[in-house]
Amino acid sequence: MIAFEELLTIAYKKERMQSRRLAKGAAISEHEALVRTLQKAAGEQCLSDFIDVRRAAQHRDADALRAREARRIERTSRTKQRDSETEAGGWRGWFDGSALPNPGRLGIGGVLVGPLGETVEISRVAGAGDSSAAEYLALIAVLEAGSRAGATDAVIYGDSRVVIDDLSAPDGAGIRSLAHHAARARAHIAQIGDVRLQWIPRARNVRADALSREALDSARTSVEAT
């Protein structure tokens, strides 16, 4: 009789449960119950051949799992390497916009850092509108700064899901009221060539946020002083 441990390794969970119920109901050993359960699953095939087929399938599944894991590790490694290279040698930008009230006066803020550490900060009022328009105008300002600086690649971070998701949408599937902002942003992205937009939580976008609010504070102070 084939060893109980060997049968356990090729039996499915459901078959092991069935064999335990059979052993209890028929007052036979778990070994004998598992043999009967697997013989039933094998049908006309002899048990030893059935076990060989199961074992071969398990080996194939294990090989496929290892291959998938190896590919996942390789993709993760390439992504980390690409991000590391961009962080070390490419352009990086951050954008944020504020509307006070919402809708109301717009303030935009942005930071652009070059591969040699050169830094451009943007802080200005940008007319009137809602917070989504402010976010878009902040991104456009950072892209314009990148174009002027001659950037050919950039990773730009923002905490606006609306803007990042809108620019990732297929043509014609974006938010209609923001379409003119999206068109301007795409034009600047095309001019730079290689731009990746990446969402970050607000806590990692504090400088751009502060610059957008400083623009509104300065504008309010100027109005109050006149």
For the stretch 148-160, pLDDT in tens is 999 999 999 999 9
Which structure tokens are listed for 121? Answer: 């900060």
Residue 53 confidence (pLDDT): 93
For 121, residues 6+ apart whose C-beta sits below 8 A from its C-beta are 109, 110, 111, 112, 207, 211
**Smallest Cα–Cα separation from 182: which of 135, 150, 222, 121?**
135
Residue 164 confidence (pLDDT): 96
Tell me the per-residue pLDDT of 24-61, one tens digit each, with 9 for 90 and over: 999 999 999 999 999 999 999 999 999 999 999 999 99
Domain ranges of the chain: 4-84, 90-225
Residue 76 confidence (pLDDT): 79
CATH code, 90-225:
3.30.420.10
Cβ atoms of 190 and 151 closer than 8 Å? no
